[in-house]
């Protein structure tokens, strides 16, 4: 069980660093050019425990005395959304309050959640959104951010305060258990323009009988690596889920997995991969490329889907075939990193720089749910959709579209 609302979940004897101590730690970490050099240093010998505590702390809070009320105890409305750091939090909040398909959500699963980052107004994004919606919340960092971010984020006014970035779960039902799962790190985020310390994580949240002992796993897989690398991360997550269920005597609990799986189907991370990606983009008819990127399980382009299937998860009836993000070729990181002459050619050649690519990166998957109307399972899927969110006051909420999943609870 959790400690009282509003506290941080902590293990070990080390106290949390103060705000001033945190700032000093981050400044010192930023000085190192490589992770290996930092880990060999006297700084790391003296302060690694404090750094690890910052990166591994799980925070939670809730609505206080006014507990949230589920609108319909027979149904669950679940939303997953990559909120692009929460940079447009008022617009996101407006959508959850006013957008027909998002309002009244019982469970909200969020990727790319900032806490104390200048680019998102130094807000505690998860807590602020949950407080406005009257929900319980859990936040776990994946990374300590050592810069202000990428591109225009660098120009954000002010300095980072907490410098945390990770995953969050908001719910009307109070969770009974949470676990933070570290995934294999397959890209060196420390030696990168967006310098950060930590790893990709999964966040595992257990609920009680009101929600049929549902276990929820949210994850954000690596974008700058290969499909094989993402499969490795997915396999590690699935193994950790099973270990958690066994440890807690919940082997029969239904499991819902959600996240930005970054299933863009391109190997990335090396110059060769970047060049091959651009060659594939330029040499593939747009309609065929769109199909490959919105149905990435085909031809095993993203083998993480077969890993989920092998572990007993299904995804076909939990997702439509709509893209969850569209990008311009000229904005693709690989194009930006190619030689300037090639970039100019891309921009001139038949306006290729303006070519739009639809991709489905965000997914639901489940195990132990009702299939084909089987009434002996705890849930029946009644609706799965990709939602087009509303702009508000001239701003769009995120570069990703949210996913909606509606479930009927059996036996209610």
Residue 8 has pLDDT above 50, yes or no: no
Residues 221-241 have a mean pLDDT of 96
pTM of the model: 0.90
Tokens of 215: 């276990």
pLDDT for 6:
42
pLDDT for 22:
86
Q: How confident is the model at residue 269 (pLDDT cuts 50, 70, 90)?
A: low
pLDDT for 346:
55
pLDDT for 282:
72
Residue 2 has pLDDT above 50, yes or no: no
Contact 24, 54 (CB under 8 A): no
For the stretch 141-200, pLDDT in tens is 999 999 999 999 999 999 999 999 999 999 999 999 999 999 999 999 999 999 999 999
Residues 241-270 have a mean pLDDT of 92
Of 216, 217, 211, 154, which Cα lies nearest the Cα of 183? 217
Stretch (H or E) spanning 230: helix 227-247
DSSP letter for each residue of 49-110: HHHHHHHH-EEEE--TTS----S-TTEEEEEEEEEEETTTHHHHHHHHHH-TTTTT-SEEEE
Burial class (CB in 10 A: 0-12, 13-18, 19+), 209: exposed
Tokens of 342: 């090639």
User: Average pLDDT, whole number, for the chain?
Assistant: 88
Burial class (CB in 10 A: 0-12, 13-18, 19+), 218: buried
Q: Can you say how many angstroms the Cα of residue 22 is from the centroid of all Cα atoms in its chain?
A: 25
What is the three-class DSSP state of 378?
A: coil
pLDDT for 285:
78
Tokens of 15: 């106290």
pLDDT for 289:
82
Q: 102-131 burial string, b = 16+ CB within 10 Å, else e?
A: beebbbbbbbbbbbbbbbbbbbbbbbbbbb
Q: What torsion do the CA atoms of 170, 83, 267, 282 make, to the nearest 10 degrees?
A: 150
Contact 324, 403 (CB under 8 A): yes
Stretch (H or E) spanning 39: helix 35-39
pLDDT for 185:
93
For the stretch 73-124, pLDDT in tens is 799 999 999 999 999 999 999 999 999 999 999 999 999 999 999 999 999 9
For the stretch 250-260, pLDDT in tens is 999 999 999 99
Structural domains present in the chain: 57-263+302-320+361-409 (3.60.10.10), 268-290+325-359 (no CATH)
Tokens of 118: 């200048």
Q: 68-89 burial string, b = 16+ CB within 10 Å, else e?
A: bebeeeebbbbbbbbbbbbbbb
Residue 363 has pLDDT above 90, yes or no: yes
Which backbone phi and psi does 392 adopt, to 5 degrees?
-145, 125
Residue 270 has pLDDT above 90, yes or no: no
Cα separation, 318 vs 365, in Å, equals: 7
pLDDT for 1:
38
Top-confidence residue, 336 or 107: 107
For the stretch 372-388, pLDDT in tens is 555 568 999 999 999 99
pLDDT for 220:
98
Residue 10 has pLDDT above 50, yes or no: no
Contact 96, 103 (CB under 8 A): yes
Q: Kindly report the CA angle at 84 between 107 and 166, in degrees rounded to 5?
A: 65
Contact 208, 188 (CB under 8 A): no
Contact 70, 173 (CB under 8 A): yes
Contact 134, 154 (CB under 8 A): no
Residue 336 has pLDDT above 60, yes or no: no
Helical H segments across 304-339, by residue range: 304-310, 333-336
Q: Quick one: what percent of the chain has pLDDT higher than 90?
A: 72
């Amino acid at each position: 069980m959790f400690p009282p609302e509003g506290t941080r979940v902590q293990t070990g004897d080390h106290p949390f660093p103060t705000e001033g101590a945190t700032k000093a730690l981050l400044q010192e970490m930023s000085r190192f050019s490589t992770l290996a050099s930092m880990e060999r240093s006297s700084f790391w010998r003296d302060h690694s425990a404090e750094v690890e505590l910052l990166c591994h702390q799980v925070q939670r809070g809730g609505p206080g005395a006014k507990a949230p009320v589920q609108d319909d105890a027979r149904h669950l409305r679940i939303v997953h959304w990559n909120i692009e750091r929460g940079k447009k939090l008022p617009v996101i909040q407006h959508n959850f309050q006013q957008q027909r398909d998002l309002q009244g959500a019982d469970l909200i699963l969020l990727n790319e959640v900032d806490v104390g980052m200048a680019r998102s107004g130094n807000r505690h994004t998860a807590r602020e959104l949950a407080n406005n919606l009257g929900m319980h919340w859990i936040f776990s960092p994946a990374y300590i951010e050592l810069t202000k971010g990428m591109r225009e984020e660098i120009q954000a006014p002010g300095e980072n305060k907490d410098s945390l970035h990770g995953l969050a779960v908001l719910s009307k039902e109070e969770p009974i258990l949470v676990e933070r799962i570290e995934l294999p790190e397959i890209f060196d985020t420390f030696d990168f323009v967006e310098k950060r310390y930590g790893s990709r994580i999964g966040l595992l949240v257990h609920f009680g009988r009101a929600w049929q002992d549902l276990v929820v796993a949210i994850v954000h897989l690596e974008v700058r690596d290969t499909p094989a690398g993402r499969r490795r991360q997915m396999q590690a997550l699935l193994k950790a889920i099973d270990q958690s269920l066994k440890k807690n005597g919940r082997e029969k609990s239904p499991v819902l997995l959600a996240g930005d799986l970054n299933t863009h189907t391109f190997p990335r991370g090396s110059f060769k991969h970047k060049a091959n990606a651009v060659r594939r983009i330029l040499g593939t008819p747009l309609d065929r490329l769109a199909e490959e990127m919105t149905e990435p399980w085909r031809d095993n382009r993203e083998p993480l889907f077969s890993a989920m299937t092998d572990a007993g998860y299904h995804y076909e009836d939990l997702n439509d075939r709509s893209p969850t993000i569209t990008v311009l070729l000229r904005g693709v990181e690989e194009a930006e990193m190619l030689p300037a002459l090639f970039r100019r050619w891309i921009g001139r050649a038949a306006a290729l720089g303006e070519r739009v690519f639809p991709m489905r990166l965000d997914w639901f998957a489940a195990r132990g749910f009702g299939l084909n109307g089987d009434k002996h399972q705890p849930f029946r899927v009644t609706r799965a959709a990709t939602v087009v969110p509303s702009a508000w006051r001239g701003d769009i909420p995120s570069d990703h579209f949210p996913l909606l999943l509606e479930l009927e609870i059996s036996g209610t």
